[in-house]
Amino acid sequence: QFKELNSKQFLPKTPLVSDLSYKAPKLEPVNAQSSVFIGKSLRWWEKSLHPNMIEIHSAQHLVDSLLRAGDKLVIVDFYSPGCGGCKALHPKICQLAEMNPDTTFLKVNYEEQKPMSYALRVHVLPFFRFYRGAEGRVCSFSCTNATIKKFKDALAKHGTDRCSLGPTKGLDESELLELASIGLISRDLLPSSTKDDGDKVGDLVLNENVVSNNGLKEGNAMVMA
């Protein structure tokens, strides 16, 4: 009796491993990538973006995006992570992008796209260029929170529905030529009338686009490029 009682008293409360009816609890896989993403805080220029706000990664990407827009209004937003005016204006631009879903906002990081910005003669930040269908560039300007009315007026003027006559223009021929001269886009994109002039003006374009370290302006203040 003593042996029988002892054996019952010390029986294990959990099934033995050898018991075929025992099933180990199922472990859910851990998505390491999502964990890293959750832990990563967004930088100011990555916050509050909307589907119609597209980051431009190259000159070719910019050219293609403008040509694909058709009759839609396209606003090219040149900014820099270190530009205080750009950071202050960013929430307003995101709000306007949300209010105008049919308008495409192309964001160009000046620090990552310096050669392209030089070729397009962008030396002041924040800076905006408006493009519309066959008209090509309809206006360009720099503005801040204090002068945001300039942006809103341009958006109201050029954002109205209309049909352009002719193919979408995109960048000016001179701008395409400058980008091709420094190898940022294919020369096949150049109009036939300008292809022969490419070699002649290549050196001139490079010389004109040399900007000193103090050449970029933020409003009235000089910013180190």
pLDDT for 153-166, tens place per residue?
999 999 988 777 78
Catalytic annotation, pick one of 83, 139, 143, 163: 83
218 pLDDT band, cuts 50/70/90, is low
**DSSP strand E in the chain: where?**
53-55, 73-79, 104-109, 124-125, 127-132, 136-142, 216-218, 221-223
The SS3 call for residue 222 is strand
pLDDT score of 2 more than 80: no
The answer to whether residue 139 is catalytic is no
DSSP-derived secondary structure for 77-135? EEE-TT-HHHHHHHHHHHHHHHH-TTSEEEEEETTT-HHHHHHTT--EESEEEEEEGGG
- What pLDDT is stored for residue 222 in this prediction? 37
The SS3 call for residue 18 is coil
- What pLDDT is stored for residue 52 in this prediction? 97
pTM exceeds 0.95 for this model? no
135 pLDDT band, cuts 50/70/90, is very high
The dihedrals phi and psi of 96, each to the nearest 5 degrees, come to -65, -35
Of all residues in the chain, what percent carry a pLDDT higher than 70? 68
Structure-token match 């750009």, residue found: 86
Among 48-62, 101-115, 180-194, the minimum mean pLDDT is found in 180-194
Of all residues in the chain, what percent carry a pLDDT higher than 90? 60
The answer to whether residue 83 is catalytic is yes
Among 45-49, 130-134, 189-193, the minimum mean pLDDT is found in 189-193
Catalytic annotation, pick one of 86, 94, 139, 163: 86
pLDDT for 68-86, tens place per residue?
999 999 999 999 999 999 9
